[in-house]
Amino acid sequence: MKKAIFWGILILSLLGAGLPMGAYWLGLENSVGRPVPPKSLTFSRTTAATVWRQRQEVFPIALRPITPWHFYELLWCSKDDRSLEDFLTCDEKYPGLRASAYIAKAYLKDKMRREGLVWRYLSRTALAIWISRNWSDRELVAELIRIGG
């Protein structure tokens, strides 16, 4: 009986640890390509502040990279957030995440291999994570300005 409990706990632990990375790769695989950051990074502080505010981001303008495993924390800290647009955030804890999700959503509009609610959210989450890890906060703001914030 102890062995069965041990193996059950081990299997559940491995699934819990591997699930975010598997979901991340599935979401990225569903995306046709990746968004390219804008080449021009010139903008005024006022314009940057305006598009940042439109995305309901916290100041100062920053971008904190996250990993697929942050998703568990995002679920937990977003559970009581009534201001959610349609993406999990933790307000000041993960600056730039709403903006990353907005850019991912705009990019995926016509660049998904499979359609459907689950695929849309999986791909958007994966791409928002990817953007947070591969773009700078200046690139993020420049893209928000380019696509109309």
What pLDDT is attached to residue 138?
Answer: 94
> For residues 98 and 59, what is the distance between their CA atoms, to the nearest angstrom?
13
> For residues 61 and 68, what is the distance between their CA atoms, to the nearest angstrom?
22
Domain count across the chain = 1
> For residues 36 and 135, what is the distance between their CA atoms, to the nearest angstrom?
9
Q: Can you say how many angstroms the Cα of residue 144 is from the centroid of all Cα atoms in its chain? A: 15
pLDDT (tens digit, 9 = 90+) per residue, 27-47? 999 999 999 999 888 899 999
Taking 90 as the threshold, does the pLDDT of residue 58 lie above it? no
- Read off the pLDDT band of 15 (50, 70, 90): low
- Read off the pLDDT band of 16 (50, 70, 90): low
Structural domain boundaries, residue 62:
2-147
Tokens of 56: 């309901």
Taking 70 as the threshold, does the pLDDT of residue 84 lie above it? no
